[in-house]
Amino acid sequence: MIKTDILIIGAGPTGLFTVFEAGLLKLKCHLIDALPQPGGQCAEIYPKKPIYDIPGFPEVLAGDLVDNLMKQITPFEPGFTLGERADTIEKLDDGSFIVTTNKGTKHHAPVVAIAGGLGSFEPRKPLIENLAGYEDKGVEYIIRDPELYRDKCVVIAGGGDSALDWSIFLSEVASEVTLVHRRNEFRGALDSVEKVQELKKLGKINLLTPAEITELEGNGKLEAVIAEKEGERIRLETDHFIPLFGLAPKLGPIAGWGLEIEKNAIKVDNTLDYQTNVPGIYAIGDVNTYPGKLKLILCGFHEATLMCQSAYQRIFPDKKYVMKYTTVSGIDGFDGTRKEAPKAVVKAIE
Amino acid sequence: MSDITIKITDREGVVHEVQAPTDMAMNVMELVKAYELAPEGTIGICGGMAMCASCQCYVKSDHTLPEMTPDEDAMLAEAFYVKDNSRLGCQIQLTDDLEGLEIELAPES
């Protein structure tokens, strides 16, 4: 069981900044995210896109913002459960919570902060009949362990970076790799496209374009896929079919946690602390809604700051905390580091 | 500097005739959000950067639209429910030339 003061669901910018604000109050944080890396949408959808409305940064790439946030929270030693989706929540008699992920990892905290953005990212699934019947029986949407494909036949579908990169990687692992894409052109990085072209010439990747996988065949386990190429049906025997069409956010299991939902977002009672209708569960950033809500990263930062003050009072109801400025009080990291403004030198003038 | 009229068929098949401002640098995706013609969180997920296809729409009238950028073209190459008249709403800026435009929102995918 992982224990922490504030359990943050969602490791996007708002979730990450919460660690900093909580750290100033000497509260430890642990983050859960369905994605395998922190950063949320910024890291997953547009890491190379510039953002222009972060105060103090005239222009910053989304990926660089995430890197900076990670650097900023390092002294507060957050824990991470990545690549797992928060599935269930249980409220204990003492008012604390146990959150369990889809892989069974349990987390215990007196306060839960949902900073889940638009929700957890789920694979976008192609429109193939009986696809669900072959999930984990030859159909996988995320490659977790490349060794699963060693000396196996693999068909990958998609035209982006993931499809290209995994085709290249698995060409050294699988016995046969076929990449299927609806068009002849790929939208991935140029060097990846060129590498696939080179591997095709060497006979290490079969390229099937313009084509689409339209049917799956098998008996309890995937045995073949049917590709349609310019009106022709082509049967490809394979052990695995990996559709890589990106990820789309879904609110997911959080929607069933008994929280008030409005317009696909979690309603918060007030804008004093962004607490939900369940005391002890807060919702901050793009995942929440209230009159006047703006879905902006900087609003998420503000909400995280107020939420942490409220969380402190919930955890320590008998203590009075006075807000301090980092310019005055500095930062005491849990790792023993201390940052503070240099002291003025006092010298007498003779 | 005036409003234009646009017909939008939502994902339930309901046709909405809406007034769209042309002086606010808005695009079709933002218009759909403004009139709440699709549930929050199901349209414009990437914010309008042609990096998701949640605002895909079918253009039903014969208006001349801005040329497709390579990003939009590539995104539609990977999207589902794509038809010959598919476009990304976020890439269609509202201008006076689009008076009477008719679009239908593609299914959520």
pLDDT one-digit tens code per residue, A1-27: 999 999 999 999 999 999 999 999 999
Cβ neighbour number for residue B28 with a 10 Å cutoff: 27
Q: Please indicate whether, in this complex, the C-beta atoms of B49 and A159 are within 8 angstroms of each other.
A: no
Tell me how far apart the alpha carbons of residues B17 and B35 are, in angstroms, rounded to a whole number: 10
Task: Flag whether residue B80 sits within 8 Å of chain A, measured between CB atoms.
Answer: yes
Closest Cα of chain B to A64: distance in Å? 18
Using CB atoms, pick whichever of A46, A49, A187 lies closest to residue B74: A187
Sheet containing strand A2-3, strands side by side: A2-3, A106-109, A97-101, A86-91
Q: What is the ipTM of this complex?
A: 0.78
Residue A327 gets which letter from DSSP? Answer: H
CB contact under 8 A, B78 and A185: no
**Number of neighbours of residue A221 by Cβ within 10 angstroms:** 11
Q: Check the annotation: does A327 bind a ligand.
A: yes
CATH number of the structural domain B3-105? 3.10.20.30
Tell me if residue A22 falls in helix, strand or coil. Answer: helix
Global pTM?
Answer: 0.82
Contact: B41, A246; criterion CB under 8 Å: no
When scoring A42, A51, A121, A182 by the number of chain B Cβ atoms within 10 A, the one with the most, hence best to mutate, is A182
Identity (one letter) of the amino acid at A229?
Answer: K
Q: Per-block average pLDDT, block size 10, for chain A (350 residues)?
A: 97 98 96 94 89 96 97 97 95 97 96 93 88 94 90 95 93 96 85 94 95 94 96 96 88 92 88 93 96 94 97 94 86 92 80
Cβ(A27)–Cβ(A311) below 8 Å: yes
CB atoms A118 and B41 under 8 Å: yes
Q: What is the pLDDT of residue A348?
A: 83
A130-164 pLDDT, tens digit per residue, is: 999 999 899 999 888 899 999 999 999 999 888 99
What pLDDT, on a 0 to 100 scale, did the predictor assign at position A44?
85
Inter-residue contact A182 to A238 (CB < 8 Å)? no
Tokens at A39, concatenated? 């950063």
DSSP string, A24-49: HTT--EEEEESSSSSSHHHHHT-TTS
Selection from A15, A92, A9, A25 nearest residue A321 by Cα: A25
Ranges of chain B whose pLDDT falls below 50: none
Q: What is the pLDDT of residue A64?
A: 97
State the Cα–Cα distance between residues A41 and A47, nearest whole angstrom: 8
Average pLDDT over chain A reads 93
CB–CB contact A264 B109 (8 Å): no
Candidates B46, B52, B80; nearest CB to A126: B80
Cα–Cα distances in angstroms (integers) from residue A293 to residues A303, A324, B42, B45, in the given order: 11, 27, 17, 17
Looking at residue B1, what is its pLDDT? 56
Q: Does A50 lie at the interface with B, CB-CB under 8 angstroms?
A: no
Q: Kindly state whether A127 is in contact with chain B, defined as any CB-CB distance less than 8 angstroms.
A: yes
Token digits of residue A42: 């910024």
Distance CA A114, CA A14 (A): 10
Smallest Cα–Cα separation from A243: which of A269, A261, A216?
A216
Q: Tens digits of per-residue pLDDT, A298-332?
A: 999 999 999 999 999 999 999 988 888 898 889 99
Which secondary-structure segment (H or E) carries B77?
Answer: helix B70-78
Which residue from B4, B100, B9 is spatially nearest to B58, judged by alpha carbons? Answer: B9
